[in-house]
Amino acid sequence: MPNNDAGRKPTELLQLLGDEFIETASNAVEEAGEPSYRVDQLRRWLYERTPRSFKDMEGLPLSLREHLDKIFVLHPLDHDLEQVSEDGTRKFLWKQGRDGGRIESVLIPDGDRTTYCISTQSGCPVKCTFCATGYGGFSGNLSAAEIIDQVVQIRSLSQQAPTNLVFMGMGEPLLNFDDLLRSLSILTDPRQLGIGARRITVSTVGIPERIRQLSQAFPQVKLALSIHAADPALRDELVPLNLKYPLDAVLDAVREHCANTGKKVTFEYVILPGVNDSREAANALTKKVRGIPASINLIGFNPFEEAPYSKPELRSMIAFRDSIQRNYPGDVTIRRSRGEDIQGACGQLSLKNSPAS
Report the catalytic residues: 104, 346
Which residue minimizes CB distance to ligand SAH?
347
| Segment (H or E) for 334 | strand 332-335
Least distance (Å) between residue 347 CB and ligand SAH: 2
299 binds, among ligand SF4, ligand SAH, none (CB under 5 to 8 A by kind): ligand SAH
By CB under 6 A, is residue 103 in contact with ligand SF4? no
Distance CA 151, CA 158 (A): 11
Distance CA 180, CA 142 (A): 9
According to CB under 6 A, which one of 104, 146, 149, 172 is a site residue for ligand SF4? 172
Q: With contact defined as beta carbons under 8 Å apart, do 303 and 311 qualify?
A: yes
Q: Edge-to-edge strand order for the sheet containing 164-167?
A: 77-84, 90-96, 102-110, 113-117, 164-167, 200-204, 222-226, 265-271, 294-300, 332-335
According to CB under 6 A, which one of 16, 42, 298, 299 is a site residue for ligand SAH? 299
Q: Which residues pair with 140 in a beta bridge?
A: 122
Residues between 62 and 81 that touch ligand SF4 (CB under 6 A): none
**Of the candidates 345, 241, 350, 276, the residue with the CA atom closest to the CA atom of residue 306:** 350
Phi-psi region of 294 (alpha: psi -120 to 50; beta: other; left: phi over 0): beta
Residue 93, φ and ψ in degrees, nearest 5: -115, 135
Residues between 219 and 248 that touch ligand SF4 (CB under 6 A): 226
According to CB under 6 A, which one of 54, 130, 138, 218 is a site residue for ligand SAH? 130
Sole window of 7-15, 92-100, 182-190, 199-207 interacting with ligand SAH (rule: CB under 6 A): 199-207
Sole window of 37-45, 125-133, 147-155, 186-194 interacting with ligand SF4 (rule: CB under 6 A): 125-133
According to CB under 6 A, which one of 122, 133, 143, 323 is a site residue for ligand SF4? 133
127 binds, among ligand SAH, ligand SF4, none (CB under 5 to 8 A by kind): ligand SF4
> Could you tell me which residues come within 8 angstroms of residue 44 by beta carbon, excluding any fewer than 6 positions away?
none
Sole window of 8-16, 40-48, 197-205, 243-251 interacting with ligand SAH (rule: CB under 6 A): 197-205
Distance CA 63, CA 112 (A): 42
13 versus 312: smaller Cβ distance to ligand SAH: 312
According to CB under 6 A, which one of 69, 268, 277, 340 is a site residue for ligand SAH? 268
According to CB under 6 A, which one of 93, 117, 124, 254 is a site residue for ligand SF4? 124
168 binds, among ligand SF4, ligand SAH, none (CB under 5 to 8 A by kind): ligand SAH
To the nearest 10 degrees (0 to 180), the angle between helices 177-188 and 208-217 is 20
Question: How many residues comprise the chain?
Answer: 357
H helix runs in the chain, sequence order = 18-31, 37-44, 62-71, 132-135, 144-158, 177-188, 208-217, 232-238, 247-261, 279-289, 314-326
By CB under 6 A, is residue 346 in contact with ligand SAH? yes
171 versus 339: smaller Cβ distance to ligand SF4: 171
Q: Which residues bind ligand SAH (CB under 6 A)?
A: 130-132, 168, 172, 203-205, 226, 268, 270, 299, 301-302, 346-347
Q: Which residues bind ligand SF4 (CB under 6 A)?
A: 124, 126-128, 131, 133-134, 171-172, 205, 226
